[in-house]
Amino acid sequence: MSMLQVELPGLSLKNPVMPASGCFGFGREYSQFYDLNRLGAIMIKATTPEPRFGNPTPRVAETPAGMLNAIGLQNPGLKKVLGEELTWLEQFETPIIANVAGSTETDYIEVAREISKAPNVHALELNISCPNVKTGGIAFGTVPEMAKELTMKVKAVSQVPVYVKLSPNVTNIVEVAKAVEAGGADGLTMINTLLGMRLDLKTGKPILANKTGGLSGPSIKPVATRMIHDVSQQVSIPIIGMGGVQSAEDVIEFFYAGASAVAVGTANFVDPLVCPNIIDRLPALLTELGFGHISECMGRSWKANEKLTYNRA
């Protein structure tokens, strides 16, 4: 068996590396650069029932070792995603994780029910953490009880396992993670972007038309690492980790923290080939570090602590 093969609910991954939702469109642009079959999976752009234009521009602003975005869930709507984007993606064997978004509970349920019927959609990613829309999005992800209820309702209609995408913009992410696990989530994806702002030196006003945006990129990696570390010890469902990953070393670090697969977001904008480059580098890196299989890295940060405690006793 390959050193990189990973089995997760609904997902048999030839490697644990996938582009993160919102950073890869529906794959068409990146297919100019490499064969999308190389990817472990693809997390497609958030889909809402109706088409959305999203927020006014400017929608992005660079920050130290990162960027803010406030795209606002622009997407062609459920019908076109099913009829055009997912059918186009059928030429690849790569499993698709469909990111489900909306303004209301009904929106989420409708998208989840329909998109989970697509033959290449192997899992859903329930987006209750988008910071850039006025209604829905993050509102469902910050109150544990609401997150749990929505998870239950989506689980009830989905044909495939449901992963819930958690927001870091909460006081206690473990609480939200436990709530969605209790609601029947099959896995977690974390973290979504951190809410931030950048002001223009000349005008004193926010650069983003939406004023606030979601911070991503290498600058948020330590936050993601800490949160994956904390959550993975408190839940028994797997975590797909994301937040500033740009190298094979970062993938290993997220596994150490407690992730079972890793998504790459902003780094795709910097290097379109970042995902295949990471996948190519991983086996040699694992060997250098003395691992026979990537799963051996999982949770090493806290498993090592347990061992230490045992030795002391």
Partner 1 sequence: MIKNEICTVVSQEQIADSIFELTLKGELVSEMSQPGRFVHVKVTAGAEPLLRRPISVANINPSESQFTMIYRAEGRGTQLLAEKKPGDGVDILGPLGNGFPVEEAEAGDTALLVGGGIGIPPLYELAKQLTAKGIKIIAVLGFQSASAAFYEKEFAQLGETYVATIDGSLGTKGFVTNVLTSRSILADVLYACGPIPMLKALETSHKGQKAFLSLEKRMGCGIGACFACVCHTAEDPEGHSYKKVCSDGPVFRAGEVIL
Which parts of this chain interact with partner 1 (CB under 8 A)?
A: 22-25, 28-30, 32-33, 45, 51-54, 57-62, 64-67, 69, 71, 74, 76-77, 217-219, 246, 266, 268-273
* CA–CA gap between residue 280 and residue 290 (Å, rounded): 17
Residue 191: CB minimum distance to partner 1, A: 18
Dump the DSSP string for 81-120: IIIIIIHHHTTS-S-EEEEE--SSHHHHHHHHHHHTTSTT
Reading phi first (left if > 0) and then psi (alpha if -120 to 50, else beta), residue 225 is in alpha
Task: Say how many Å lie between the first and final Cα of the chain, rounded.
Answer: 37
Would residue 23 show up in a list of annotated catalytic residues for this protein?
no
d(CA 273, CA 37): 13
Minimal distance in Å, beta carbon 237 to partner 1?
Answer: 29
- Look up residue 162 and give its amino acid: V
For residue 237, CA distances in Å to 164, 186, 211, 224 come to: 11, 6, 35, 17
CB nearer to partner 1: pick between 52 and 148: 52
In the complex with partner 1, which residue's Cβ is closer, 53 or 310?
53
Query: Which of 97, 209, 108 minimizes the C-alpha distance to 150?
Result: 108
Burial 198-221 (b: 16+ CB within 10 A, else e): beeeeeeebbbebeebbbbbbbbb
Q: How far is the CB of 136 from partner 1 (least distance, A)?
A: 17
Question: Between vectors from CA 18 to CA 29 and to CA 113, what angle results, nearest 5°?
Answer: 90
Dihedral angle, C-alpha 86, 87, 88, 91, nearest 10 °: 110
Spot the catalytic one: 23, 130, 275, 297: 130
Residue with Cβ nearer partner 1 (40 or 66):
66
Closest separation between CB of residue 262 and partner 1, Å? 17
State how far the alpha carbon of 22 is from the alpha carbons of 43, 189, 207, 268, in Å.
8, 14, 20, 11
Contact 276, 30 (CB under 8 A): no
Q: Which is nearer to partner 1, 42 or 170 (CB)?
A: 42
73 versus 160: smaller Cβ distance to partner 1: 73
CB of 24 to partner 1, least distance (A): 6
CB of residue 280 to partner 1, shortest distance in Å: 15
Active-site residue numbers?
130
